[in-house]
C-alpha cells in the first residue's frame, strides 16, 4: 500500500473575502500535495473555513444578515477561488457542518468526562467593544491594547481546559522532536513562550456574550471557544470518532501549514488538546512568513488588500502561483508589489521558460518537419544537460520540497531552463542547419532540448499545473501529472523520436511594462481639496481600470466635525469607516457648517498617504463636486454601512 501524506491549511475565517495571504498558504499546500501524488503517495489535502466565533458573528451583523446566511454567502467565494487557482484539495470543511460539529461535541464530552475540563470563575480586564478579556500584563493603564478604550474588571464563569498540566510534557516533546515546529526560529519562539507558566485555557463563551458557536454538550448556556472548535477540524474530517480505521491512515498529519500569526494555537493549544485526548501531535507544523504590500501591512482600512482574483485575471493563474512561491523563502516575510511580480513574469517565465519552449518548437518545425528527431552520440555538453535534468527530478526537487524550500526548488528548475537556453545558444542549431554534414548534430541538439523540456514539464507540474499541461500538449508528450511517476519517466530518453509537436500560443506573454509604468500616483494630491485625485496617465488623459482600482473609495459616516482654527475653509472631521475612525481635514468649511456635516455619509479616499493641513493630520480625503470652490458634497443614495466599498 502506498504511503500516506496528510497536509492541511488553516481553515480561514469567513469574516471577509479571500486575499493573497489565504491564497499563499493554500497554493503552497497544493504544490506539496501535487508533488507527493507524483511521488506515489496517497494524499489527503484538507482546507476549509472557520465559520464560528466573534469575528464571523460581527461580520454578519455588519452586513445585517444571520451568521449562517453570511457564511453561506461567503463560502463559495473561497471555493470558487480555489477552483480557479487549481487547488487540488481532497476535502473542504466548513465548521458549521454537522460532520464537524458532532465530533467537536463528542471530543468536549470525552475531555469533560476525563476531568480535563472544569468550571471556574474568572476575573479579568474586559473590553466591551472588542468583546474579549486581556491579562493584567496587557491591560496597561486600564486601556484595551487594541482599541485603546477603557477596560472593565469583569467576572465570568467559564469552562477551562487543563492545559497547564501538559506544559512540561510539551517542552520535552519539542526538544525531542526537532522537526515538529519549523522553521527553527519558530521552534525557539514557542520554547521561549513556554518558559513562562502556561495557564489553563478558557474553552467556553457564555451565550449571553457570544451566541454563534457550537453549544457545549454539558452546558447549554455556553458555546465553544472558536479555537477549540476550529483546531478539531484536522481530526474530525479524516474520521476521528466516526471512522477510526480511516482516521488512523491519516493521523498524525504530515504537515499543518500555517502563517506565523497562529503559531501558538497550533503548537501549544493543539498539541496539549491532542495529548489530553491520547492522540499524537502532528508530525510537523510549518509557520510561513507574512506578506506586506509595497512595504505596508495589508489591511482593509488601508485599502491595499491584494485580491487574488484580480491578479489572476490580469496575469494568469500560473504566474501568480509561481510568483508567490518564487519571490520569498517560505518561512520568511515577503513584500508584494506589481513591479516585482511583473519583473518575475517577464524575466523568468516569458524570457527564460516561455522562450525556451517557443524557440525549441520553432526549430523542430523548421529543421525537423514538426517531428522530434532521432538523437546521435552525446557530447560533453550534452552530458551536462542530461545530468542536470536527471539530478533535478531524481534528488534536488525532493530535498527542497521536503524542506518546504519552494523558492530553492524553483531556483534549480530555472537553472535547468537557463542551462538549456545556453545549450541552444552554444550549439547554434541555425548554423548546423546550413550544412548537410551537421545534420546529425542538429538532430541531437533538438532532441536533447525537447527531452529537457519533458523533465521541466514534470518538475513544474506541481507549481504550474496548467502551464505544464500546455507545454506537454505543444510538445506532443504522453505524460499524466496526476499519476505516480514511473522510474522510466525520470530516466533520460523518454521522448520518442518522431513525436509530432503542436506549437501554440506563447506560454507566458511578456507584460508591457510601459503601460504599467504609466500609472499615476494618487498620493501627491492634497487631502481636502475637492479636485479629482487622479492625474492623467496616458497621452489622452486616460487611465486603466487598474489605475482606478488603486484608489480605495469607501463610505464614511461623519461622527464629529469642527473648524480648523484660523481657517475659513478647513473642517476637521472624525469619520467612521467601519473598521476604524479616521481624522480627515476637508476643504468644505465655506459651504458646510460642522453641525451640518455630523451624521452625513461621505465618500472618502481611504488609502491616501496621511498629510498635514495647517498643522492638523488628515488621514484621507472627502470627495465633493466643484472646481475651485466646493459646490456639493458626494454622498450615497441609500444608508449603507460605514466602510462599504465604492467601485
Interacting residue ranges for ligand ME8, rule: CB under 6 A:
10-13, 21-22, 24-25, 50, 230-231, 258-259, 261-262, 290-291, 298
Q: Are 562 and 571 in contact (CB under 8 A)?
A: yes
Nearer to ligand ME8, 97 or 438 (CB): 97
CA distances from 269 to 224, 280, 614 (A): 14, 13, 51
Cell numbers that stand for 494 in this block: 523518454
CA distances from 499 to 371, 440, 473 (A): 5, 17, 11
State the nearest-atom distance from the C-beta of 293 to ligand ME8, in Å.
8
Nearer to ligand ME8, 76 or 538 (CB): 76
Sign of CA dihedral 431, 437, 442, 445: negative
Nearer to ligand ME8, 72 or 219 (CB): 72
Q: Which residues pair with 211 in a beta bridge?
A: none
Nearer to ligand ME8, 26 or 421 (CB): 26
Residue 331 in 3-state DSSP? Answer: coil
Residue in this structure with the C-alpha cell 548554423, named with its chain if needed: 431
Nearer to ligand ME8, 282 or 578 (CB): 282
State the nearest-atom distance from the C-beta of 47 to ligand ME8, in Å.
10
Q: How many CB atoms lie within 10 A of CB 598?
A: 15
State the nearest-atom distance from the C-beta of 525 to ligand ME8, in Å.
28
Nearer to ligand ME8, 22 or 581 (CB): 22
Nearer to ligand ME8, 285 or 570 (CB): 285
Nearer to ligand ME8, 292 or 531 (CB): 292
Nearer to ligand ME8, 54 or 443 (CB): 54
Q: What kind and span of H or E run contains 22? A: helix 20-38
Distance CA 217, CA 230 (A): 16
Cβ-based burial of 455 (10 A; exposed 0-12, middle 13-18, buried ≥19) = buried
State the nearest-atom distance from the C-beta of 240 to ligand ME8, in Å.
14
Residue in this structure with the C-alpha cell 461623519, named with its chain if needed: 558
State the nearest-atom distance from the C-beta of 14 to ligand ME8, in Å.
8
Order of strands across the sheet with 152-161?
132-134, 117-127, 152-161, 201-202
Order of strands across the sheet with 4-13?
91-94, 42-50, 4-13, 255-259, 285-288, 181-182
Nearer to ligand ME8, 231 or 577 (CB): 231
Could you please report the per-residue DSSP string of 106-151?
Answer: HHHHHHHHTT-EEEEEEEEEEETTTTEEE-TTT-GGGB-TTT-PBP
Q: What are phi and psi of 494, to 5 degrees?
A: -75, -25
Distance CA 72, CA 76 (A): 7
Q: Which residues pair with 117 in a beta bridge?
A: 161
Q: What are phi and psi of 327, to 5 degrees?
A: -70, -40
Nearer to ligand ME8, 164 or 264 (CB): 264
State the nearest-atom distance from the C-beta of 265 to ligand ME8, in Å.
7
State the nearest-atom distance from the C-beta of 614 to ligand ME8, in Å.
36
CA angle 233, 239, 243 (to 5 degrees): 160
With CB atoms as reference, the residue minimizing the distance to ligand ME8 is 21
CB burial of 497-528 (b: ≥16 within 10 Å; e: otherwise) equals eebebeeeeebbeebeeeebebebebeebebb
Nearer to ligand ME8, 21 or 354 (CB): 21
Residue 577 in 3-state DSSP? Answer: coil
Amino acid at each position: 500500500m502506498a504511503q500516506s501524506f496528510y497536509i492541511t491549511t488553516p481553515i480561514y475565517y469567513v469574516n471577509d473575502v479571500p486575499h493573497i495571504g489565504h491564497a499563499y498558504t493554500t497554493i503552497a499546500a497544493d504544490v506539496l500535495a501535487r508533488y507527493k501524488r507524483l511521488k506515489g503517495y496517497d494524499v489527503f489535502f484538507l482546507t476549509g473555513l472557520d465559520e464560528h466565533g466573534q469575528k464571523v458573528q460581527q461580520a454578519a451583523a455588519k452586513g445585517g444578515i444571520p451568521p449562517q446566511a453570511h457564511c453561506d454567502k461567503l463560502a463559495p467565494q473561497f471555493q470558487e477561488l480555489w477552483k480557479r487557482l487549481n487547488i487540488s484539495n481532497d476535502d473542504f470543511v466548513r465548521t458549521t457542518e454537522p460532520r464537524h460539529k458532532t465530533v467537536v461535541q463528542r471530543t468536549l464530552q470525552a475531555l469533560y468526562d476525563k476531568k480535563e475540563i472544569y468550571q471556574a470563575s474568572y476575573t479579568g480586564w474586559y473590553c466591551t467593544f472588542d468583546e474579549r478579556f486581556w491579562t493584567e500584563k496587557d491591560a496597561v493603564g486600564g486601556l484595551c491594547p487594541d482599541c485603546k478604550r477603557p477596560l472593565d474588571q469583569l467576572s465570568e464563569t467559564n469552562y477551562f481546559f487543563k492545559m497547564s498540566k501538559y506544559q512540561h510534557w510539551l517542552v520535552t516533546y519539542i526538544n525531542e522532536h526537532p522537526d515538529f515546529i519549523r522553521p527553527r526560529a519558530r521552534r525557539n519562539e514557542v520554547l521561549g513562550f513556554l518558559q513562562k507558566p502556561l495557564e489553563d485555557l478558557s474553552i467556553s463563551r457564555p451565550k449571553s456574550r457570544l451566541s454563534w458557536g457550537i453549544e457545549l454538550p454539558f452546558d447549554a448556556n455556553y458555546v465553544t471557544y472558536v479555537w477549540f472548535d476550529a483546531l478539531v477540524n484536522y481530526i474530525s474530517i479524516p474520521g476521528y470518532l466516526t471512522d477510526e480505521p480511516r482516521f488512523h491512515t491519516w493521523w498524525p498529519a504530515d504537515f499543518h501549514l500555517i502563517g506565523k500569526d497562529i503559531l501558538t494555537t497550533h503548537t501549544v493549544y493543539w498539541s496539549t488538546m491532542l495529548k489530553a485526548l491520547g492522540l499524537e501531535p502532528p508530525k510537523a507544523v510549518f509557520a510561513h512568513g507574512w506578506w506586506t504590500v509595497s512595504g505596508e501591512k495589508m489591511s482593509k482600512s488601508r485599502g491595499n488588500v491584494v485580491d487574488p482574483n484580480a491578479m489572476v485575471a490580469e496575469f494568469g493563474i500560473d504566474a501568480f502561483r509561481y510568483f508567490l512561491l518564487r519571490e520569498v523563502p517560505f518561512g520568511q516575510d515577503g513584500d508584494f508589489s506589481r513591479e516585482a511580480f511583473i519583473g518575475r513574469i517577464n524575466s523568468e517565465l516569458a524570457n527564460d521558460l516561455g522562450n525556451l519552449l517557443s524557440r525549441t518548437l520553432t526549430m523542430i518545425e523548421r529543421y525537423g518537419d514538426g517531428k522530434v528527431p532521432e538523437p546521435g552520440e552525446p557530447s560533453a555538453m550534452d552530458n551536462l544537460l542530461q545530468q542536470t535534468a536527471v539530478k533535478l527530478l531524481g534528488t534536488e526537487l525532493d530535498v527542497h520540497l521536503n524542506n518546504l524550500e519552494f523558492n530553492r526548488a524553483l531556483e534549480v528548475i530555472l537553472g535547468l531552463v537557463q542551462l538549456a537556453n545556453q545549450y541552444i545558444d552554444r550549439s547554434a542549431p541555425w548554423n548546423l542547419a546550413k550544412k548537410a554534414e551537421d545534420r546529425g548534430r542538429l538532430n541531437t541538439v533538438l532532441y536533447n532540448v525537447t527531452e529537457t523540456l519533458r523533465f521541466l514539464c514534470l518538475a513544474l507540474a506541481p507549481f504550474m499545473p496548467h502551464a505544464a499541461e500546455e507545454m506537454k500538449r505543444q510538445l506532443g508528450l504522453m505524460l499524466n501529472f496526476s499519476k505516480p511517476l514511473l522510474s522510466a519517466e525520470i530516466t533520460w530518453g523518454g521522448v520518442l523520436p518522431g513525436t509530432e509537436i503542436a506549437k501554440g500560443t506563447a506560454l507566458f506573454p511578456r507584460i508591457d511594462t510601459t503601460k504599467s509604468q504609466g500609472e499615476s500616483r494618487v498620493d501627491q494630491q492634497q487631502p481636502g481639496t475637492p479636485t479629482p485625485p487622479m492625474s492623467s496617465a496616458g497621452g489622452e488623459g486616460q487611465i486603466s481600470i487598474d489605475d482606478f482600482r488603486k484608489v480605495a473609495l469607501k463610505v464614511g459616516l461623519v461622527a464629529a466635525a469642527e473648524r480648523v482654527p484660523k481657517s475659513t475653509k478647513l473642517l476637521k472631521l472624525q469619520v467612521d469607516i467601519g473598521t476604524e475612525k479616521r481624522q480627515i481635514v476637508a476643504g468644505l468649511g465655506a459651504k458646510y457648517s460642522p453641525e451640518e456635516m455630523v451624521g452625513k455619509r461621505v465618500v472618502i479616499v481611504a488609502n491616501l498617504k496621511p498629510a498635514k493641513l495647517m498643522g492638523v493630520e488628515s488621514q484621507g480625503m472627502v470627495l465633493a463636486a466643484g472646481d475651485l470652490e466646493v459646490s456639493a458634497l458626494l454622498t450615497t443614495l441609500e444608508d449603507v454601512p460605514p466602510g462599504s466599498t465604492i467601485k
